[in-house]
Amino acid sequence: MPQRFHSAIRLLHWTMALLILAMLFIGVGMVSTAGPAYASLVALHRPIGIAILFLALIRLAIRLRTGAPPLPADLPRLQQHAARGAHILLYLAMIGMPLIGWAMLSAGGYPVRLSAAWSLPPILPQDLLAYGLLRRAHTLFAFAFFALILGHLTIALVHGFIRRDGVLETMLFARMRAALPDEEEETGQALSADLAEEPAEALAP
């Protein structure tokens, strides 16, 4: 099994992380404003969402083909199952959220414009009831997705800076320097020896 994720997956991961972060700020801006900026935010929201959808599909295809690094052997089985389940939920969110948004706009009769000259075709017939339901679902999924991202970030930091088990490194382009247990023990022994010698040196004439 690979020791790190495929380089294409790592590149897609960090590219998508920036796009998703941008989407979160754009979404907050769309909810909190009704002024002239709203139209500009919507014009950014739609193409970025579609970009996330297609990048997620490409990433999933590469992931299925190249596999994933093994989790640490000392990680409890329950946490291993939780980690795999969380990754499945993240992929479902990255693919499902844009699809729900696309379907919502289609049901509302709104074009999904990617540029001034290019719009995506509708994937649902126009239906105001479906539009209302999908709009509600899109909002609820957005909150759930935000919670997933916070949990994912928290666990990644725990693995990187508390457990230091190499899990975070599987998605980085450079390895993190971390003291090995043997090195830490040797450093502690050397420090203890130095402290024990200091009083003897102070008493010497």
Q: Which pLDDT score, from 0 to 100, does residue 119 have?
A: 92
Q: Which residue has the higher pLDDT, 138 or 183?
A: 138
Tens digits of per-residue pLDDT, 87-103?
Answer: 999 999 999 999 999 99
d(CA 194, CA 202): 13
* pTM (whole model) above 0.85: no
Q: What is the pLDDT of residue 102?
A: 96
CA distance 58 to 14: 14
3-state secondary structure of 35: coil
What is each CA distance from 149 to 29, 64, 77, 195, 198, in whole angstroms? 19, 22, 22, 46, 51
Could you give the percent of the chain with pLDDT greater than 70? 85
- Span 7-176 CATH architecture: Up-down Bundle (1.20)
Spatial CB neighbours of 145, under 8 Å, sequence gap ≥ 6 = 93, 97
